[in-house]
Structure 1
Amino acid sequence: MVDTLGNIPGDFLNWEFLMLKPFQLGVQKYIDLLENIYFESKLINFLRMEKWIFDSPDQAGEAYRQFMKDFSQGNKLIQGQVEIGNKRVDLGNIRIPILNIYAEQDPLLQHLP
């Protein structure tokens, strides 16, 4: 795709994300919306989030290619093999408090042991 298009279209990235959980992200959220259709604040919030989610600029093709190879396919961040500016990124060197918040149905967590 990078060789053909150069940049990766933002719409493709949206589609890629939606395909992680096609029913929940493509159908279920609209079914759930029906339960809140009479609550103006919830409806407005839903519409704001939809606009924000789908306002995706194109991404530089080579950056996308490298990200997919290094982070998605190679899991190099966890293995300590990512370099930025000729410096290896070592997650073990993080010495500040970090707050991680995970959603109950986070599709990324489904692949963890």
Structure 2
Amino acid sequence: MKTIDIIIKYINDKTSTYKILREYTPLSLSEIKSRIENHDAVIAVNDLKLDELKKVREIIRSLNNIGTEVVIQDVTGTITLKTLENIISSYEDIAADTEKLDALMFSDEQ
């Protein structure tokens, strides 16, 4: 499974950062701290699941709002939030096109 990983680069407000991460991950506080210290991914999601990608985008925005800097990585290496947003937009467009095609196919059968 290919993943999009979130790695914490810098923390401005530790308490708020840990609180946000605890809301979105089943990891214990000690595991979160350990992963941050070791520069390991604190969150990893399937890069083909739109709902998970949207969740990651929300987490990144929340962390950025409190001054926490993150690194976003996929199989190609480090990507930007803009790249992640483009991936999400592409998946949303594909889903919309698929719905239109399904509607056309089912309307022909009736």
Shorter-chain TM-score tier: under 0.3
Higher relative contact order (CA 8 A, sep 6+): 2
Structure with a larger share of its residues in strand: 2
> TM-score, normalised to structure 1's length?
0.23
Structure with a larger share of its residues in helix: 2
